[in-house]
Amino acid sequence: MGGTPLPDGIKLMDEQGRRIDGRLPGELRPLKIEAGVLRRADGSAYLEMGHNKVMAAVYGPRECHPRHMQDPTRALVQCHYNMASFSVDDRKRPGPDRRSQEISKIISEALTHVVFTEYFPRTSIDVYIEVLQANAGTRCAGLTAASVALADAGIPMRDLVASCAAGKVANTMVLDLGKEEDNFGQADIPLGYIPRTEEVVLLQMDGDLTADEFRTGLGMAADACKKIYDVQRDALRRRYVVADDGGSEGVK
C-alpha cells in the first residue's frame, strides 16, 4: 500500500472529487443484508456491499472441539473466515492461509466482546464466514454479516457489531475503499464499532496517516457504522415482520 505505483490511465479521484466508481469521499457502497438464509445453520446472514458478497453461518452453542480448548467458565467464539477460490480475479488457492487466520482471529475477538459467553460454559459458538465474491473490505463485510447471523441464531449479545473501513486515497480521506482504492491508495483503516456505546472492537491500519487524518478517518468510519447498524437491525426485523399479524400464544 502506498508504494504501489498507479497503472497508467487510472485516476483514483477526478477533478470533481468523484472516486473511481463515482462515489463521493464520504459515500458507502450499496449495502444489502438478509438474515436467515441457510436452513441447516442455527443462524445465518447474507450480505452484499458493492461487489462484495459474503455468507455467514452460526452453529451452537455446541460441544467444543477440540476438547482441550473448552473453557469451564464461558463459551468460545470460534470464527472461520474463508475466501472461495472463485472470489477473486486470479484463482485463490483454497484453504487457510496467514491472512485468513488473522482475519478469523480478529473477528472472533470482536464478536467475543459482544456475546454473553458466560451463559454457555464449556461450549463453542462456531461462526463461518464464506467470501463468495471479494472487492476489498471483506473483513468488515464478514464481521457485519457474522453479527447479524449470531443474533439470528438466538445467541444473547450486548449489541450488534457494525463494521466499515475508512482510508486515504489521492490525498483525500474516503470511506469504504473499493478494490482499486485498496490496492493503489495510501491507507486503509478497518473499524468494528458498537454505535450505542461507541466501543471499538476491531481496529487495524494499513499504510501511513498523520494523527489528524487518522482521527478524521475514524470519525468517518464510526458514522458510517451507525448507518450499517440500522441496515443490520432492519434485516433481523424483516425476517419476522411478514407474519407479524397477531399474537403468539407463547408470548401473550
Partner 1 sequence: MPSGHASRVFIGITNLKRVNGMQRESSRETAREIVVPGDLLSGSGMKAGPGTYVDGGSVYAALLGIRSVRANTVGVVPLAGQYVPMRGDTVIGKIVDMGASNWLVDINAAHPTPLHVNEVPWRVEFGETGRFMTIGDLVLLKVIGVDELAKVQVSMKEHGLRKLAGGMVADVAPAKVPRIIGKNGSMIQVLKNLTGCRIYVGQNGRIWIDGDMDNILLAVEAIKLIEDQAHSSGLTEKVKDLLEKRTGKGE
For binding to partner 1 (CB under 8 A), which residues are involved? 42-43, 60-63, 72, 114, 116, 119-123, 151-160, 194, 196-197, 232-233, 236-237, 240-241, 243-252
Q: Taking a C-beta distance cutoff of 8 angstroms, is the pair 195, 25 a contact?
A: no
Q: Please say which residue, 24 or 241, places its beta carbon nearer to partner 1.
A: 241
* Nearest distance in Å: CB 237, partner 1: 5
* Nearest distance in Å: CB 74, partner 1: 10
Residue with cell 472463485: 86
Q: Please say which residue, 111 or 209, places its beta carbon nearer to partner 1.
A: 111
* Nearest distance in Å: CB 173, partner 1: 28
CA end-to-end span of the chain: 57
Joined grid coordinates for residue 149: 447471523
Contacts of 216-220 with CB under 8 Å at 24 or more apart are 216/166, 216/173, 217/166, 217/167, 217/168, 217/173, 217/187, 217/189, 218/166, 218/189, 218/191, 220/26, 220/166, 220/173, 220/174, 220/175
Q: Please say which residue, 211 or 243, places its beta carbon nearer to partner 1.
A: 243
Q: Please say which residue, 106 or 148, places its beta carbon nearer to partner 1.
A: 148
* Nearest distance in Å: CB 62, partner 1: 5
